[in-house]
Each structure stands twice: as C-alpha cells, then as structure tokens.
C-alpha cells in the first residue's frame, strides 16, 4: 500500500471510529463490551464536536472522498443527536404534564 492510500485509510478509520462512538453514546447501537444499549448524550456531543474540529483543522487538505465522508458523517450524527434530544424533551414534557394533572386531581 502506498503512503497516500494508507493515510486515507487511517483518516477514514479515525472518522468512522468517532462515528461508532457517537452512535453508541446516543443509544443507537449496542455497546459491544457490555452488549447493552447505553445513552450518554454528553459523550456523544464530545465525539461530534471532535469531528467538527477535525473537519475545520483539515479543511483544504483532504481528498474529495475524505471530505465527503467527514461531512456526511457529521451531518448524520448531528441529525441523530437532535432526534435523541427531542426524545428527552418529549419525555420530560410528558412527565411534567402528567405531574401537573396529578396535582390538580389531588387538590380537587
């Protein structure tokens, strides 16, 4: 393998490693070590932010294929992150509206 191909493969592997980590932290895939679905949105955000910094720092130095990969991975992760945040907000608002209606019933 020539040096350029090796660097491309390593770069793509790095991007996909952060992609996998973020998907695990969002609870989209099982953690292979525990075989459980685990959520930690702070860690997912860290992985996404790291990819954002990597994209910014390598801007203008990537091959078209590498640029497409990192751009698409970041876009996919951000959409999934927003989806997970909206699930949290929906469940939180559902819980607060339930407790409010329970409070009204108790007062009556």
CA distance 48 to 46: 5
Q: What's the mean pLDDT in 74-84? A: 97
Sign of the dihedral defined by the CA atoms of residues 16, 21, 26, 32, in that order: positive
Q: Which one has a higher pLDDT value, 98 or 31?
A: 31
Q: Which two tokens stand for residue 12?
A: 């793509």
Tell me if 3 is assigned to some domain.
Answer: no
Q: Which residue stretches of 26-63 are H helix?
A: 41-58
Q: What's the mean pLDDT in 67-88? A: 96
Cβ 26 vs Cβ 44: under 8 Å: yes
- Give the domain range for residue 48: 19-91
Is the pLDDT at 99 greater than 70? The verdict is: no
Tell me if 43 is assigned to some domain.
Answer: yes
What length is written for the chain?
Answer: 108
Tell me if 108 is assigned to some domain.
Answer: no
Is the pLDDT at 78 greater than 70? The verdict is: yes
Cβ 19 vs Cβ 77: under 8 Å: yes
Q: What's the mean pLDDT in 51-62? A: 97
The proportion of the chain whose per-residue pLDDT surpasses 90, expressed as a percent, equals 73
Tell me if 34 is assigned to some domain.
Answer: yes
> What letter would DSSP give residue 37?
-
What was the pLDDT predicted at 92?
Answer: 82
Tell me if 97 is assigned to some domain.
Answer: no
In tens, the pLDDT along 9-46 reads 999 999 999 999 999 999 999 998 999 999 999 999 99
Q: Domain count for the chain, please give it.
A: 1
Is the pLDDT at 67 greater than 90? The verdict is: yes
Tell me if 101 is assigned to some domain.
Answer: no
């Amino acid at each position: 393998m020539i040096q350029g191909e090796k660097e491309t493969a390593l770069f793509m592997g790095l991007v996909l490693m952060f992609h996998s980590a973020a998907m695990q932290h969002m609870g989209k895939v099982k953690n292979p070590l525990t075989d459980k679905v685990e959520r930690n949105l702070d860690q997912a955000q860290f992985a996404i932010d790291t990819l954002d910094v990597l994209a910014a720092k390598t801007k203008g130095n990537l091959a078209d294929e590498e640029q497409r990969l990192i751009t698409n991975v970041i876009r996919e992760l951000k959409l999934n992150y927003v989806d997970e945040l909206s699930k949290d907000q929906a469940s939180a608002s559902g819980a607060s509206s339930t407790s409010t209606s329970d409070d009204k019933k108790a007062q009556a």
